[in-house]
Structure 1
Amino acid sequence: MIPSYETIDGSSHNVETISSSVFDKLTDELLIETLIRLPLKPANICKCISVRFRSLISSSNFVRCYLNHHQINESFALYYDLDGKRKIRPSSVGMCMAFESPIFESPGFSLSFLQETIQYLASNNGLVLCCADLCPPVVYFVCNPLTKQWITLPPPPTDVKSSYIGFTCNPQYSCNDNQEQRMTTSFKVVRIQVALRDTLSLEIFCSESGKWTNENYMLSSTSVNEFFYRCNFGYPCSAVVCGGLLHWDNLSKTEIFTYDPYRGICGSIKYPPGITESSSDYCLGESGGRLRYADYSKSSKTYRVWQLKDCSNDGGEWFLLHKVNILGMKSTVQTAYNDLISLLPPHPLDQDIVFFWCLCSLRILEYNMRTKLLKLPCFPQDAKVKYLMIPVVFPFVLPCWPTTVPIIQQHGES
């Protein structure tokens, strides 16, 4: 529907008419100089004015000029399980967000346009994958909480919730027949099921085809008993996305399982040296485009962080990035170090920052590996968890420019 307005004499005019009578007299350069001065959300809403506006605002040149003018950087937030119920009402998602940038404040960042109770499963490049928290059939949604765009995926091949899931989004610019550059988005959802004793079954949804497909990965005889070693209850285990690959650290007790969703290649990465089953706490994450693995031994009170030099299906070499005795941390908060803090994913943008959860205060804490300082993060709202178990945490990185949600054709299973 084209927006309209009413003049003082009572006659009605739509914005398309304004566009053709006023804005068409401006060159693209002048129009861009005008539009880049708008705030982010109104600038995106202006795509509705006309075909010309949509094409101009979707171009890479406009995005580049807008970012340069506003000096916008990526922002991040942590979504956490607030009270251990493993599900959220979309209207209350703001209560479960810890963030630094005011752009996340309601109503700027919201899932209220989704009506059903949902589980937050994963996010990548500004889009979120969630699942309706209802009995079968399984219903997945992909949405942008900032622009309120969303789509429902067709039903997966098997009507059960997978314990292992991955989500990767690939926004990019492409040229049409008129050599105009536009942002396009594609994404893939990967579910892991066990079909047979020696077979790993992957169900993959591709937004470009609108279909689910199946791929089977044969396990070697030595690795059959190694897989699905670490049980998972409640939330599905979401893959860490790094270098275009999906990584699960809870499928095996010896390796990190990897999958390249665009080449269809499975692989594995050995755990860092010295990792044993005696590690009481561990966490896989991504920071600054690098894969990281951290563990905390309560027996030795030692916290260690490794970083992978080369993230690929062929594995890579780990190096020890940080090691500290937990009692040697400087702290501005009252904690009982011995057994009352747990590892959370690292800061996705600041490579010096990692997060802990403290059972004493039920709060998320920030630790700087460079200064060895443990403190409360500078979040506008208190990141307090109303639950006695380790919260499930999902880092969410908001790109400099909103990622579009692609339109998919509901083809169903291939």
Structure 2
Amino acid sequence: MNITNINELPYVLLGEIISRLACYKLIFQCKCVSKRWCTFISEPYFIGRFLRVQIDKQIPTMATLINIRGEELHDRMSSLSSSMRLTQLLKRLVSFHGFKVEPIVVATYNDLVLCCAPLNNQSNYYICNPYTMQWVALPPPPTQFPVTAKVVGIICDTPYYNYYKEDAGKRQIIQLNADYKCKVIRLLSSYEYPKNYKCKVEIFSSETGEWSETVIISPKPWYHIYSSIAHNGVLYHLCQSTDSRTCLAGLDPFMIMNKITNSTTGNGVDHYKCCHVEMDTTVVGGFSGDYCVVSERSLRISYFDWDTFSVYVWDLKEAEEEECHAEVVIEGTGKLCWKHTGVFSLDRDIAPDESSVSVFELIAIDPNNDDILYLNINGDLVMSNIQTRKWSVLVRESQIIDSHFFQLQLPLWPTPIPKLPQHANGGGTSS
């Protein structure tokens, strides 16, 4: 075979060469070489081949933290400039849709970002991917201004790709889920049902391209919701009930949709019952969700207590002991409960002069290491390891410290934005 031009290489050989590039960003640049290359690189065969090479190299999947403006907590967390690309994408949304204000981040799932604009009525939602610079606009939700959502979440039924081992662990099997389904859920205020502990929810389905409305039931009413994270197919909300107990409420949007589809009319409606796992806070006095942060990686809650200058840690585990408080999370699964993992004292040299400390906040758990915490001390961003007690000031007078940060995955291969029925002939936009 006499080949003088790389464009003449057979697909199999071309795939073996390109798939060995260091990351997908370099591969995406190869799409510009020719239409043939662009088409080939977009095919499932090549994507699977590239992922297999990355997994064989044991390339880890990392994550970073972003605030509502799409700014990264600090630039040491990643080397892929995810924050810069996301802020660029938000500016494109402003230009493309003619917004007067820049959209904000309201939820994330893996490497997908849910944005909304404007903030005051949350009527325009967009699912974006900062790595591909693509987005898709969702239709307006049923309930708009002046009612705003208590919390908004996004979740998919399966990751875009997953892998498993076959033949006694000798071969990696890559599975692409190009037709994954995505749900966006809005929890609205429950003021209409204060005694029945019911909450009105709106769910958008990428499968139908439409919003649905329903009511869910909670064992206890929620007074305040601090954050929302997706874990193992369930959306969890760290919240505080009206009796001031901190809990984790979990719901499965896909099961809710099944109940909507299969429910009867009239008084026989079978409302979805969300789980409600309360925390055993007897180990610390004065516990408040205002001082908690949650790790999406392992569903860990860390709480800082000023009196003892210590961090109290709980992990959500499967209930194995009868005395462990637990609730069924979703039908067909086991029971979960909070288990107190331990108490970790911080080095008091972090704040040697307590009288001069006006702000001391626990703001985030590192998405790649649950032992690393980030704190806001008088506006300085401080990193502390609860196991080693080592700490360091990352940024003096940080301008991006916020009350909440979202976890954003740095994938081996980016997730394409979901395909909506109304955009079957082309929707969204990309760079």
TM-score tier, shorter chain, comes to 0.7 to 0.9
Percent identity over the alignment is: 24
Please state if 1:350 is matched with 2:366. Answer: no
Q: 2:16: which partner in 1?
A: 32
Q: 1:365: which partner in 2?
A: 382
Provide the C-alpha distance between the structure 2 equivalents of 1:383 and 1:113, rounded to a whole number of angstroms.
30
SS of structure 2 residue aligned to 1:32 = helix
Tell me the TM-score normalized by structure 2. 0.71
Please state if 1:186 is matched with 2:181. Answer: yes
SS of structure 2 residue aligned to 1:215 = strand
Please state if 1:126 is matched with 2:111. Answer: yes
Q: 2:67: which partner in 1?
A: 80
Paired residues of 1:295 and 1:305 also in contact (CA < 8 A): yes
Provide the C-alpha distance between the structure 2 equivalents of 1:191 and 1:52, rounded to a whole number of angstroms.
39
Structure 1 residues not aligned, in runs of 5+: 1-20, 82-87, 175-179
Paired residues of 1:295 and 1:304 also in contact (CA < 8 A): yes
Counterpart code for 2:185: V
Paired residues of 1:306 and 1:321 also in contact (CA < 8 A): yes
SS of structure 1 residue aligned to 2:42 = helix
Q: 1:4: which partner in 2?
A: none
Paired residues of 1:242 and 1:286 also in contact (CA < 8 A): no
Please state if 1:374 is matched with 2:383. Answer: no
Tell me the TM-score normalized by structure 1. 0.74
Provide the C-alpha distance between the structure 2 equivalents of 1:373 and 1:291, rounded to a whole number of angstroms.
23
Counterpart code for 1:126: D
Counterpart code for 2:18: T
Q: 1:246: which partner in 2?
A: 235
- Quick one: structure 1 residues 249 and 66, their matched pair in 2 at CA, closer, same or farther if it must change by over 3 Å? closer
* 1:302-317 matched pairs, under 5 angstroms: 302-310=310-318, 313=329, 315-317=335-337
Q: 2:223: which partner in 1?
A: 229
Paired residues of 2:149 and 2:187 also in contact (CA < 8 A): yes
- Quick one: structure 1 residues 119 and 277, their matched pair in 2 at CA, closer, same or farther if it must change by over 3 Å? farther
Please state if 1:201 is matched with 2:180. Answer: no
- Quick one: structure 1 residues 242 and 146, their matched pair in 2 at CA, closer, same or farther if it must change by over 3 Å? same
Q: CA deviation at 1:276?
A: 7.0
Provide the C-alpha distance between the structure 2 equivalents of 1:190 and 1:334, rounded to a whole number of angstroms.
44
Provide the C-alpha distance between the structure 1 equivalents of 2:293 and 2:67, rounded to a whole number of angstroms.
16
Q: Deviations over 1:305-350 (max 9, x none)?
A: 1111239606523332231344xx2656767497632112211221
SS of structure 2 residue aligned to 1:171 = coil
Counterpart code for 2:291: Y
Provide the C-alpha distance between the structure 2 equivalents of 1:78 and 1:383, rounded to a whole number of angstroms.
18
Provide the C-alpha distance between the structure 1 equivalents of 2:119 and 2:385, rounded to a whole number of angstroms.
40
- Quick one: structure 1 residues 410 and 358, their matched pair in 2 at CA, closer, same or farther if it must change by over 3 Å? farther
Q: What number of residue pairs does the alignment pair up?
A: 355
Q: 1:153: which partner in 2?
A: 138
Of 98, 113, 129 in structure 2, the residue corresponding to residue 144 of structure 1 is 129
Of 373, 383, 395 in structure 1, the residue corresponding to residue 407 of structure 2 is 395
Q: CA deviation at 1:371?
A: 0.2
Paired residues of 1:331 and 1:375 also in contact (CA < 8 A): no
- Quick one: structure 1 residues 291 and 335, their matched pair in 2 at CA, closer, same or farther if it must change by over 3 Å? farther
* 1:204-223 matched pairs, under 5 angstroms: 204-219=203-218, 223=220
Q: CA deviation at 1:161?
A: 2.7
Provide the C-alpha distance between the structure 2 equivalents of 1:308 and 1:33, rounded to a whole number of angstroms.
44
Please state if 1:113 is matched with 2:92. Answer: yes
Counterpart code for 1:191: R
Q: CA deviation at 1:190?
A: 1.0
Q: CA deviation at 1:77?
A: 2.2
SS of structure 2 residue aligned to 1:366 = strand
Q: 1:283: which partner in 2?
A: 292
Provide the C-alpha distance between the structure 1 equivalents of 2:286 and 2:308, rounded to a whole number of angstroms.
11
Paired residues of 2:72 and 2:83 also in contact (CA < 8 A): no
Provide the C-alpha distance between the structure 2 equivalents of 1:335 and 1:57, rounded to a whole number of angstroms.
60
Provide the C-alpha distance between the structure 1 equivalents of 2:208 and 2:396, rounded to a whole number of angstroms.
40
Structure 2 residues not aligned, in runs of 5+: 163-173, 257-271, 320-327, 424-431
Of 399, 403, 420 in structure 2, the residue corresponding to residue 408 of structure 1 is 420
Q: 2:426: which partner in 1?
A: none
Provide the C-alpha distance between the structure 1 equivalents of 2:235 and 2:250, rounded to a whole number of angstroms.
5
Paired residues of 1:58 and 1:182 also in contact (CA < 8 A): no
Q: CA deviation at 1:396?
A: 2.1
Q: CA deviation at 1:275?
A: 6.6
- Quick one: structure 1 residues 317 and 39, their matched pair in 2 at CA, closer, same or farther if it must change by over 3 Å? closer
Q: 1:271: which partner in 2?
A: 279
